[in-house]
Amino acid sequence: MIVDAQVLPRRRMPVKAAGLGVAVLLGLVATAAGAQVPVIGAPVLAVVGGVLLSPLVRPRAVALEPGLGVAKGVLLQLSVVLLGAQLSLGQVLSAGAESLPVMVGTLGVCLLLAWLVGRRLGVSRDLRTLIGVGTGICGASAIAATTPAIRAKSDDVAYAISTIFLFNVAAVLVFPPLGHALGLSQQAFGLFAGTAVNDTSSVVAAAGAYGQEAAQYAVVVKLARTLMIIPVVLFLTALTRRREGRPAEAKPRAALSLVPWFLVAFLAVAAAHTAGLIPAAAQSGLHQVAMVLIAVALAAVGLSTDVAALRRAGGRPLLLGLVLWVAVTVTSLGLQYLTTR
């Protein structure tokens, strides 16, 4: 019995390493492929690749799940923290007050419609939340930050990422011609792309096709928009705890317990960037590490996906994504017109 007790822990580590190793390998492959196809990006390739391979993994799900859990949990949260290395609070302010009404307005409309339309369509609560934050904030990164806050299932995460990807591609193809047809200036299109396109890679692709000035402004707006992750995830964390029967108490420690550690760290890294404590040479490297970690985490999400459950979800979540995409597009253009007249 003593020998068995000593051997058992040694057997658990290879199991955890095996699941993590599969996710890391797939994440690295997706990162390399995403560099060649930036419009699609590594996160999408990682989750889609994981979903395609999931039928092969599911028979070994029990053995691989510990390692996949590490990738979906700690590595995912760490990737969100590192994203703060490119956020400068000064840049956010310099983007101009005119971007704030557009950002807040599009996010508000998106989240409200995600709740109302999602309920009408019969889309599950977690899935409509993920599609809503992914469309309204910053695509895969917002979904990554929201997933641990609401304890979303891998199936919902995979469907939300796939939905966001479809409309990212649509935006890259449709928005530049639409901008020219509407006669948008470089800055106006940058604001439009920064508030209405989801993932950063697609923002750069759409705005870059319009012009260099549009691309620069769009990136700044997109970084400011990323900050919206913080209040939204804090609210969802508190809501999830209350729903689970753990309401926040009116005590400092109880209030602090509602703040996920990775969001506190995210703010700290962004503040360090603002203070000039993160060298410019390191920012690019930290961003690349964050993107790799997101790819690894989303590869684990894809590998954990039950494809049969996705089929049962039907086309309604996709319809919800379409409604939100159109709503955000119209709201962004409409608010920009009203606030710049």
pLDDT, position 276: 84
Model confidence at 257: pLDDT above 90: no
The encoded tokens of residue 74 equal: 């700690």
Please give the Cα distance from 132 to 122 (Å, whole number): 15
Query: Tens digit of pLDDT for each residue in 70-97?
Result: 888 788 778 878 877 876 666 656 665 6
Measured in whole angstroms, the distance separating CA 84 from the mean position of its chain's CA atoms is 13
Total-model pTM = 0.68
Please give the Cα distance from 105 to 98 (Å, whole number): 12
More confident residue, 265 or 98: 265
Instruction: Look at 109-113, 307-311, 313-317 and tell me which has the smallest mean pLDDT.
Output: 307-311
- How confident is residue 139, by pLDDT bands cut at 50, 70 and 90? confident
Contact 50/286 with Cβ under 8 angstroms? Answer: no
Please give the Cα distance from 330 to 338 (Å, whole number): 12
More confident residue, 2 or 158: 158
Distances (CA, A) of 50 to 82, 202, 303, 334: 23, 21, 4, 38
Please give the Cα distance from 146 to 150 (Å, whole number): 6
pLDDT, position 329: 95
Region 262-286 average pLDDT: 82
Report which of 202, 180, 155 is spatially closest to residue 38, judged by C-alpha positions: 202
- How confident is residue 258, by pLDDT bands cut at 50, 70 and 90? very low
Contact 103/133 with Cβ under 8 angstroms? Answer: no
Model confidence at 10: pLDDT above 60: no
Instruction: Look at 8-12, 96-100, 167-171, 195-199 and tell me which has the smallest mean pLDDT.
Output: 8-12
pLDDT, position 236: 86
Region 140-166 average pLDDT: 83
pLDDT, position 221: 84
pLDDT, position 94: 65
Model confidence at 53: pLDDT above 50: yes
- How confident is residue 3, by pLDDT bands cut at 50, 70 and 90? very low
The encoded tokens of residue 318 equal: 């996709």
* Angle (CA) 314 318 322, round 5°: 155
pLDDT, position 97: 62
DSSP tally for the chain: helices H, then strands E: 18, 0
pLDDT, position 278: 86
Average pLDDT, the chain: 80
Where on the phi/psi map is residue 234: left (φ > 0), alpha (ψ -120 to 50), or beta? alpha
Model confidence at 290: pLDDT above 60: yes
Region 328-333 average pLDDT: 94
pLDDT, position 14: 55
